[in-house]
Structure 1
Amino acid sequence: MYLSSQVKKEIFKKHGGTEKNTGSSESQIALFTLRIDHLTGHLKGNKKDFGTQRALLNLVGKRRSLLDYLKKTDLMRYRAIIKTLDIRK
């Protein structure tokens, strides 16, 4: 499985500060980015998997909403997470 609990803990520790800080915007954005990358790779090989395509679009929308929220509340944290994850608008 690509998203084991150990991988999640590492993501939360790196972007959220601690392993238990799963609610911070940065850690959620990082987790969504990992899932988006995985689904994108899956769709490159399975072009007609429309369920996965829909799930990917939902994840992209959720990540976009979190990024917009972060941009409104704290611009420095927004710029840091964009730079760390190499996400461009």
Structure 2
Amino acid sequence: MYLTKEVKADIFKKHGGSENNTGSTEGQVALFTHRINHLTTHLKRNHKDYNTERSLVKMVGKRRALLDYLKKKDIEKYRSLIKELGIRK
């Protein structure tokens, strides 16, 4: 499995402040980015997997909504998170 407890805890520790702060917007965006990157590589190999493609589109939409919320709440955190994760917009 690509997303173990340790990987998840590491993501939240790095972006959310602590391992237990799983509700932070920054941590959730980082987790979605990790999952999106994994699904993207999967779809490059399995281009006819339409269920995964649909999941990927839904996940990108959720991440976009969280980023819009963060942009309204704190523009500096938004800019630093986008730069750190390498998200285009």
Q: Give the TM bin, normalised by the shorter chain.
A: over 0.9
| Matched residue SS, 2:55 | helix
Q: 2:54 is matched by which residue type in structure 1? A: R
Q: In structure 1, give the amino acid aligned to 2:84.
A: T
Distance 1:8 1:69 in 2: 22
SS of match in other structure, 1:35: helix
Give 1:26 deviation, angstroms: 0.3
Alignment partner of 1:9: what SS?
Answer: helix
Aligned partner letter, 2:47: K
Percent of aligned pairs sharing the same letter: 65
Opposite residue 29 of structure 1, the aligned amino acid is V
TM-score, normalised to structure 1, is 0.99
Structure 2: unaligned runs, 5 residues or longer: none
> What number of residue pairs does the alignment pair up?
89
Runs of 4+ in structure 1 deviating by more than 4 angstroms, as ranges, are: none
Which stretches in structure 1 are left out of the alignment for 5+ residues? Answer: none
> Are 1:36 and 2:36 counterparts?
yes
Question: 5 Å matches for 1:1-89?
Answer: 1-89=1-89
**Equivalent-residue separation in structure 1 for 2:82 and 2:21 (angstroms):** 19
Structure 1 CA distance for aligned equivalents of residues 19 and 10 of structure 2: 7
TM-score by length of 2: 0.99
Superimposed CA distance per residue, residues 39-72 of structure 1 (whole angstroms, 9 cap, x where no aligned partner) = 0000001000000000000000000000000001
Structure 2 letter corresponding to 1:61: G
Q: 1:88 deviation in Å? A: 1.2
By how many angstroms is 1:35 displaced?
0.2
Amino acid at match of 1:13: K
